[in-house]
Structure 1
């Protein structure tokens, strides 16, 4: 079986770190605005019959192998740490080769890791029989990434990766709500230029 999933990266227009819990609780009316762009993160899973797990990042040129019997060890794996922790969370029962690739340069400030997170969650969830409804993906993504970066993760990046388009994301005591903003995409595209200097942010 082959499973393919992808998610877009984003440009942040307003809000920034106000999307981190509990910071937004101290700022009534906190909101962020962002829009997805067509630089995507991709996840491809090819199942295997031999119980082996191969995790590979094409853009980072990193790969390693383990086996289903050692899946618990992935929670401590530092190579491809985000992907390893996602695999540990989903705990597939079949061998597979996971290939990740990001079109956005590492450290470009376009939320490439969050897009990859959502793409991998979509593929891994399908691999385990759609164990979780899609409405849980953002929570899973934020919680797993928090264990990787060891500080609270912001939420806005996952919303753009999950929904695409232009988003107004509102943060409050009763939760987080995404508003789809009615923006003519062709007009937005004409007014935005994204340049990469070759250096991480």
Structure 2
């Protein structure tokens, strides 16, 4: 079985910054954006070898780790690892063994929400593989929590919601 997922990148048109804490927490936010014909892609291939192989094809980085309840999120593949940790913790409750390949059609720092969109795409692939009943808003909220809370990355909320 091969699981594939993709999510669209977004172009911010107005209101950028009003989705970032603490402003958004105090005043809410007003954002206008549109998704575009560029995507974050994820492929998961389940394995039973006790290993996790992670590969970000667009930045040419790969790593193999032992399957565990929690894996270290340091390094350039922290987003992939952070999603795995949260999926195991909140949903499957046991280590998984698989290969994951990701690719984003725009580089990090492009201003198109590539990192957040990648997280949405990865969550979508895990949800499909593990039969996790997540709606679009659930995926967006989970992606926000993984990036901002679990991994401590700064940013707002518009990217995750636009990508779902």
The change in CA–CA distance for 1:8 and 1:150 in structure 2 (over 3 A counts) is closer
TM-score normalised over the length of structure 2: 0.87
SS of structure 2 residue aligned to 1:84: helix
Kindly name which structure, 1 or 2, has the bigger radius of gyration based on alpha carbons.
1
Matches within 5 A, 1:1-201: 1-27=1-27, 30-68=29-67, 70-74=68-72, 76-91=73-88, 93-146=95-148, 147-151=150-154, 153-162=155-164
Cα distance in structure 2, aligned partners of 1:142 and 1:55: 21
Report how far residue 16 of structure 1 moved. Answer: 0.7
1:179 maps to what in 2? none
Does the aligned pair in 2 maintain the 1:125–1:131 contact within 8 Å? yes
Report how far residue 133 of structure 1 moved. Answer: 4.0
Does the aligned pair in 2 maintain the 1:90–1:128 contact within 8 Å? no
Query: After the TM superposition, which parts of structure 1 deviate over 6 Å for at least 4 consecutive aligned residues?
Result: none
Structure 1 unaligned regions, length at least 5: 163-201
Structure 2 unaligned regions, length at least 5: none
Tell me the matched-pair count.
158
TM-score normalised over the length of structure 1: 0.72
